[in-house]
A and B are shown apart, each in its own frame.
Chain A
Amino acid sequence: MRLPIPRKNKLVFRLALRSLRQAVTKTFSELDFPGRLIAVEGLDGSGKSTQIHLLKKWLELQGLKVFFSSWNSSAMVKSATSKGKNEHLLTPTTFSLIHATDFADRYERQLMPLLRAGYIVLCDRYIFTAYVRDVVRGCSPRWVRGLYHFAALPDLTFFFKADLEVSLGRILDGRPELKYFEAGMDMGLSKDPYESFRIFQGRMLDRYMGMSEEFRFVTVDANQPIETQQSFVRETVASRLNLETFARQKVRAV
């Protein structure tokens, strides 16, 4: 049964409901944005950054409107984030909040306007990174999801699933100096940064897998060769997006 709503409050009521429901449960296409957001998620060393770079190249060469945004890159928030990280000032809560601040800045000033202007926006990590990482750090899942409630869901999310040993190997072989927060050293998992990193990454992988179905991740086998993965990514994008609609308008000579 629906309760009658006083006429005066109807509009306000509807707007309030919309702002609550719009986010998180809907994608940009479901919200009638002309643009589309494609996100890549996965552990460090899963090769997702390489894949999104190759995807960007392919889309750009077709003359499409493409924009790339990476996690933790807002200029305004950067100085606070690096100060917090360098001086080990961050707790799980402030770590989570400062990344949410960074995300909000990019979301409101970059992603949203571009999606309204009909761009294909490529995101190296999206809200799922926070869902996974902040919760593994100890924040409440409900609280973290609530923080990002203002953000709509990607239209397409690729999850790069590599065996834990493979992604660990890629990171540990190439860059033996692990950063403090990257290794999850703040969590006191182990005094050994490498061991700490292993445990931390393992827990994140479990969290990613747990939400894969809920958020309709398209899983990519990241143990395969780069080319094989990229073919799959390009095919998926071509089948899910009507790419012609994102063509840059030719500047006509008068």
Chain B
Amino acid sequence: MTAGNTVPSKRPNIIVLPPRTKRRFYGDGIPGADLETLAGKLIVIEGADGSGRSTQINRLVEWLEGCGHATIQVGLKRSTLVSDELDRAQHGNVLSRTTLSLFYATDFADQLENVILPSLRAGMMVLADRYIYTLMVRDLVRGMDEDWLKNLYGIALVPDAVFYLNVSPEELVQRTFQKNLALDYWESGMDLGLTRDMFDSFLKYQTLAEAQFKRLQSLYGFTIIDGHRPMDAIFAELQQRIEAVLAGTPA
């Protein structure tokens, strides 16, 4: 069933109530959080800039709300607590690695406690435009200790589904130029000093990131989606997989 094919009728379709599933945190979690009360679903879309994340999330929102599910979107650097400070810090490139990493973790924790958990408790579908995996990949590429990162993000709730939109660095370059006509300093990993040439640095950095993503995939078991295909094909696959999640039978 896709939203586009539904024939408008007077009698609404039955809105299916997703069954509750057992929930857990990756590590010690948030002190005092009651996991039993989380009725909604947490669906994460991961992928580099230009992998089509936001396009797909917008379509998923339309579709899910059409099916009668309330949705809410979260993403990185959107917390009331530290998002402005993070922006400034990144702009000036003044913070060292551990500091920046902890700053991002603070931003994540703030949204987890103030948006994600309350929304799930209210029975909403939470669509996360990136989650802890992007944050971990960025730090792993920069040589941070993996055990340290795993402990840090032990506060995170295990999502109901994680989809990684995989697009090759060569294709990402083309898409980025189509959209912005310029490469982003951080997305090119210029702070790593791989090379002074931004184009080369972008390719190298994205290749390193892709490798780390695939490694994390084997640890956390998220679904890799081939992001080179047409938008509709990707959406159809996401829809099918999310339907399974909502039915309580993820593949």
Contact = CB atoms under 8 A, between A and B. Distances in A.
Interface residues of B, number: 33
Contacts of B114: 89
Contact of B28 (A98, A100, A142): A142
B67 interface: no
Interface stretch (A143-151, A152-160, A224-232): A143-151
Contact of A147 (B84, B95, B99, B151): B151
Given A97-B102, A143-B154, A149-B151, A79 B85 contact: yes
Interface in B123-155: 145, 147-148, 151-152, 154-155
Contacts of A92: 31-32
B74 interface: no
A80 B104 CA distance: 12
Contacts, number: 96
Contacts of B243: none
Interface stretch (A2-10, A32-40, A103-111, A201-209): A103-111
Interface stretch (B105-113, B168-176, B208-216): B105-113
A98 B31 contact: no
A77 interface: yes
A108 B101 CA distance: 13
Contacts of B84: 79
Contacts of A108: 96-99
Contacts of B95: 76, 105
B148 A105 contact: no
A109 B85 CA distance: 18
Contacts of B96: 104-105, 108-109
Interface in A77-111: 77, 79-80, 83-84, 89-94, 97-98, 100-101, 104-105, 107-109
A63 interface: no
B31 A93 contact: yes
B85 A97 contact: no
A191 to B, nearest CB: 19
The binding surface of chain B is classed by DSSP as: helix
A41 to B, nearest CB: 21
Contact of A98 (B82, B98, B151): B82
B145 A143 contact: no
B103 interface: yes
Contacts of A143: 27-28, 151, 154-155
A100 B85 contact: no
A93 B30 contact: yes
A88 to B, nearest CB: 11
B64 to A, nearest CB: 28
Contact of B106 (A19, A97, A140): A97
B99 A80 contact: no
B211 to A, nearest CB: 15
A139 interface: yes
B16 interface: no
B81 interface: yes
B89 interface: yes
A20 interface: yes
Interface in A164-209: none
A142 B25 CA distance: 15
A101 B106 contact: yes
Contact of B113 (A76, A94, A100, A150): A94
B152 A147 contact: yes
A210 interface: no
B31 to A, nearest CB: 4
Interface in A39-91: 76-77, 79-80, 83-84, 89-91
Interface of A: 16, 19-20, 76-77, 79-80, 83-84, 89-94, 97-98, 100-101, 104-105, 107-109, 137-140, 142-143, 146-147, 149-150
By Cβ-Cβ distance, the 6 closest A-B pairs, closest first, are A146-B151, A140-B28, A138-B31, A108-B96, A101-B102, A97-B106
